[in-house]
Every structure is written in structure tokens, then in C-alpha cells.
Structure 1
């Protein structure tokens, strides 16, 4: 079923309202999450010298902005949540853009890499081709996109007050390929567990030079 403009507005407004309401508990609950495997997966594929310009897409409260900055890179955050954007600016000292994922305004060929950790699954499937194309455009030629999403069987819908779309590898691969990306690698998380205990699908993609 196709989402109407009113549907999309409700999806965005309800999901962001939820995150604004739980921002402080979300920050505390995710402060110590180890995503070093994901950060390493992005950085090792970028062909360039530090400082790299990284867009932390869906930066949340700013945990990973601090990590990229400590590694010597220039990180810019983007989040739809007003509370997260404020936290991220205060905690990281980085530039942070508050933008609705369905109404992005991104500069062309600005970034060496995009870190989209646990975020793109909030974009309704029908809007993903457009959003992925916008991410493709804001990468420099040869730039790299990392994404990690909770995997599923290509269904979408509400989980409490948050909207999500849950892709399997083949569907995700099709979407990214159609947006002009070339696959570099994929893996499941957490590492070292049986597949049924690995709910996250991580993948890395290049924009051709």
C-alpha cells in the first residue's frame, strides 16, 4: 500500500516525538554500545588521508561524532530529533544539522564517508530510493556509505511509537545497487553468534569514482 503525504508526515512526526520524549534515557542506554566494528568497516574502505569528512547520518545524541573527532576526522552530524541534535552539538562540539530524513537538504560531493548506523530502517520503503540517491549525491566520487539495520523479511510497520522497515540482504542489495552504489562487504551483528542471534545486517558501499 502506498503511503500518502499525510501518512509520511504522521510517520515522521510520531517517530521523532518518541525519540524527543526518550532522548535522555536513550543516551544513557546507548552510551556504552560498542560499534567499533562498524566504524572500522567504514573507515578501512575510504580511499583518502585523514582528516576525512564524515557525515554521521542519524547521529542521535552524538556518541559516534566524538569517536570520529577523537580519531582526527571532521565529523558532521544529522538527526531529525531536535533533542538529539541539541545533545549532539553540546556533547561533541561538532556541527549538527537537524533535518527530517524525508526532507533532506545535503550539499553535493561533500563527504568522504557516511555512517548510517541503526537509522535508515526508519525510512519507509517507498521513499528509500530517493533518500539513498541523496546520500549518493552528497558523497564525493569514490566515497563510502556504511549502513546497519535490524534485518527482517521485507516488512514495514509500527513498533510502538517508532516506524521501521526491515529488509533482508537481497532486498537491501537491490535498493543500494539501484541507487548507484557498489557493494564492498556485508556482515551480521553481534559478531560470533549464531545467525538467529544476529538481528543486525551491516553493509558497506562505494559511490563509483
Structure 2
């Protein structure tokens, strides 16, 4: 973490402890999520990309590589990103894809490179105070008109520790405000799992396009 100050220490602790949880539970996480059906989410990302396939896709928080394998089987170039060292090793082995180990709080991404970004069950780990910076970094890595998919457990715009993991839980209005501020326009949203009453749908999924106009400058935040 470059240029760390004392004010960065709470962020360092959040990142360190959350990643340590996933490293310690990598095998059980893989076993528990291997058969999760996220085809609805994958389809939501892909149908909004306007470029000609195959697409170059970034799977943010790729975990053990389940969705990297799916994107690759569909003929796309998929690159993974995760901060947990064990997940990175597992994803490389399972998918055969290029996988970058990075702290999502400080992403280092090539500009204008990706047609789409798949952020499935990961961005809720980013504290709200640095989420605008992270979203703008993701936006900058998209090609003009590129698409970002996100799915997060929803809440009432509160955040804090849940065991050894940190989470920020936004409602639709709060998430819309954050995404629009970062330079995205909404394409669609829905709640998961499908076919259940809203109170039994804890996940908010949404799809966004990189706007042509720039995001709000940092000095106006």
C-alpha cells in the first residue's frame, strides 16, 4: 500500500482480515459455491456488451475460478482478479486463465482494456468511503461504452463487521447514487434468487454502462 498514513490503518485492517478469512476458508468456499447457478448474472453482463465477440472480461473477486471457466468455455478472454493468495492459485489452476493478485482497495488496471467487468459478490467488501475511488478505477479500465455487472447483498446503507469479514450493504437508491457519481448509467437491475418474495431475495444485481461523460472530479466529491 503506497503512501500509507495513519488514516489508512483501518482500511489495512479491513483488507487484511477479510482476505485472511477467505484464505483460511478457501477449500470450503470452493466446495460450497462450485454449483451455484449464476447464469442469470453472466447473461445480464454479456447481453449489454455492444462490441463484437469474443470479449475481454475482468472477473473481479474471481475466487477459485468458477466463472472464469464459464467465460472461457463461451469463447471469451477472461482475466481474474482477487486479493486472496489461495484463491489466485486455485483460479489459475482451475481455469487456466491469467489471474492478477491485487488488493481491490488499490486496483492497478490497464486503461480502456475490458469490454466487461463481472463483479459478483465482491464490491460489498469495499468500505463506502473508498468505494467511489474503486468504482472510478474500474470504470477507467473499461473501453468506452463498456459494461459492469455487480451483485451485492442489499441492506439499508449500513456497514461493519460480520464475523471476520467487513461488508457495506446498500439499497438500490444508495447504490444508484454511487454508480452514477462514478460515471455509469444504469441498464437494468433485479433481485436474487429468482422467483421468491422480495423479503427472501437478499441480493441486488445491477448492470451499468460506462458513460461518455467523465465521473465527478475528486475535488468535487
Query: So what's the TM-score if we normalise by structure 2?
Result: 0.93
- In the alignment, structure 1 segments of 5+ residues that lack a partner are none
Query: So what's the TM-score if we normalise by structure 1?
Result: 0.98
Determine helix, strand or coil for the equivalent of 2:21.
Answer: helix
Correspondence 1:41 to 2:44: yes
Matches within 5 A, 1:61-100: 61-100=64-103
- Within 2, Cα distance between the matches of 1:178 and 1:19? 30
- Within 1, Cα distance between the matches of 2:53 and 2:93? 24
> CA offsets per residue over residues 170-202 of structure 1, 9 Å max, x none?
000000000000000000000110000000000
Matches within 5 A, 1:141-152: 141-152=144-155
Off by >3 Å, runs of 4+ in structure 1? none
**Among 159, 163, 182, the residue aligned to 1:179:** 182
Correspondence 1:110 to 2:113: yes
- In the alignment, structure 2 segments of 5+ residues that lack a partner are 1-5, 213-221
Determine helix, strand or coil for the equivalent of 1:102.
Answer: coil
How far has the Cα of 1:208 moved from its partner? 2.4
Correspondence 1:164 to 2:167: yes
Say how many residue pairs are matched: 207
How far has the Cα of 1:36 moved from its partner? 0.1
> CA offsets per residue over residues 25-81 of structure 1, 9 Å max, x none?
000000000000000000000001221000000000000000000000000000000
